[in-house]
Chains A and B, each alone.
Chain A
Amino acid sequence: MQRHIISVSSITYAIKGRDLLRKQGIKAYIERKTNQNGNAGCGYVIVAEGNRQKITGALMNSGVKILEINSIV
């Protein structure tokens, strides 16, 4: 199962993204980034498991702008 660490612009969008992924049956939670490299974002990430395209599509269709996504197999 692929795991994706998704940076978004704010804690508001992080929670929104988590909730809408969960509504679609996708396992998702938010956590604080431990490896901050100074890029844009709120310091929180959505961690989601499943198909990357499905996850990014669901987020973008609901107006959740993805700043960065790292996928781990």
Chain B
Amino acid sequence: MIYFDNAATTGHKPKSVVDAVNNALKFLSANPGRSGHKPSQRAAIAVYEAREKVSDFFNSDGPETVVFTPNCTQSINYVLKGDLGRNDHIVISDLEHNAVMRPLKSMNIDFTMAQVSLEDDNITLQNFKKAINQNTKMVFCTAASNVLGKALPLEDIGAICKRNGILFGVDAAQGAGVMDINMKDMNIDYLCIAAHKGLYCPMGLGILIARGPIKKTIIEGGTGTDSVNFIQPDILPEMLESGTVNLPAIASVGAGIDFVRKRKNCILKYENNLVKQLYNGLQGSNVVFYTNPNNTGYVPVICFNVNGYSSDEVTDILSKNGFALRAGLHCAPTAHKKIGTQQQGTVRFSPSVFNNANEVDELIIQLKNFKNYQKHY
């Protein structure tokens, strides 16, 4: 099976990450910070070192700003529900995942959706500026669309937020590890990360880096701190880490970051070249793309459809022929509405550094021969 569904989770993990997980299971299997014995202390130090590494990689204010969560969705919920109140207004983009849309809907928060131009970031910035009003407390947007691959101009949006005294949160599920994200330079207050994607860690690990305030929790419980008190502690990171954390995954974050850091200047280019190869190789075929990866400002994610087939039919046939791609709406109906595919969905192609040009060539051949496959209904 050739795996091209890395935007959902990176399918292949570096050996160093696998080794780090194994090592943690063998030698760090104790609850960090809870008990006084040596294994617990070793586990606590491993968690702390992971926080340091994350803070350093994304240029945050220190290890205490780094919160480990079960996934990026939970990180986003912590930000939105932890900081927004009934009368607050928030600006989001029109490319957001349901991890943003559903919390806002459930909170009944007033929001304005700034349109992202797929061609001109200046238009995007104007739209964000226009969307801000006197009640706007936060701008929250994706670093890059999980459907279209379009990267947002984070540094410029951060500058707008700074000028207006507004908090800035970023869903970096698709951006972390691929894009160069510097929290201080980009004025990012909250960075939400799916460590199992671009950082190549195991599933079950999200990260929230909070430079801004978190006023409320959505989960309370044991933190290993201030245990005599029934009131949830208000000090990060433990405030948001009730219950036992995923230590084997956390212990692998350092290896994941090292893997990415060594390839920092080439991951984006390498993976984008694979996307361009697919796009260019299928010009004039039955395949329809919705973005042009030859333009700048894209991460390695692209969607397409095959004329005459639903997106599910395409991925089903591809799966039977040894290719793993994802069909449907990708939990981001707003992005599909933008390109008019909210009914049929699209097929998403998302390579990782473990893919190569030969594999893409094989997919191109499959897709060019699609008319030979029988439809199911």
Contacts and interface: CB of A to CB of B under 8 A. Distances in A.
Contacts of A15: 44-45, 48, 63
Interface string B205-225: 000000000000000000111
The SS class assigned to the B binding surface is: loop
B228 A16 contact: no
Interface string A2-39: 00000001111101100000000000001010000011
Nearest to A39: B228
A46 to B, nearest CB: 13
Interface residues of A, number: 19
Contacts of B198: none
A10 B239 CA distance: 10
Interface range on chain B: under 10, 10 to 19, 20 to 34, or 35 or more?
A: 20 to 34
Contact of A16 (B33, B64, B223): B64
B226 A11 contact: no
B372 interface: no
Contact of B233 (A9, A16, A44): A9
Contact of A11 (B33, B227, B228): B33
B64 A43 contact: no
Contact of B44 (A9, A11, A65): A11
Contact of A10 (B33, B228, B229): B33
Nearest to B66: A12
B245 to A, nearest CB: 12
B32 A13 contact: no
B36 A12 contact: no
Interface in B174-232: 223-229
Contacts of B51: 12
B62 A16 contact: yes
Contacts of B33: 10-12, 42, 44
Contacts of A40: 225-226, 228-229
A57 interface: no
B238 interface: yes
Contacts of A30: 41
A13 B63 CA distance: 9
B63 A10 contact: no
Contact of B224 (A16, A43, A62): A43
Nearest to A64: B64
Contacts of A16: 48, 62-64
A38 B233 CA distance: 15
A42 B225 contact: yes
B235 interface: yes
A32 B237 CA distance: 20
Contacts of B229: 40
The winner among B45, B64, B228 for most chain A CB atoms within 10 A is B64
20 contacts: A9-B225, A9-B235, A10-B225, A10-B233, A10-B238, A11-B48, A11-B225, A11-B238, A12-B48, A12-B64, A12-B238, A15-B45, A30-B41, A32-B41, A40-B226, A40-B228, A41-B225, A42-B225, A44-B33, A63-B64
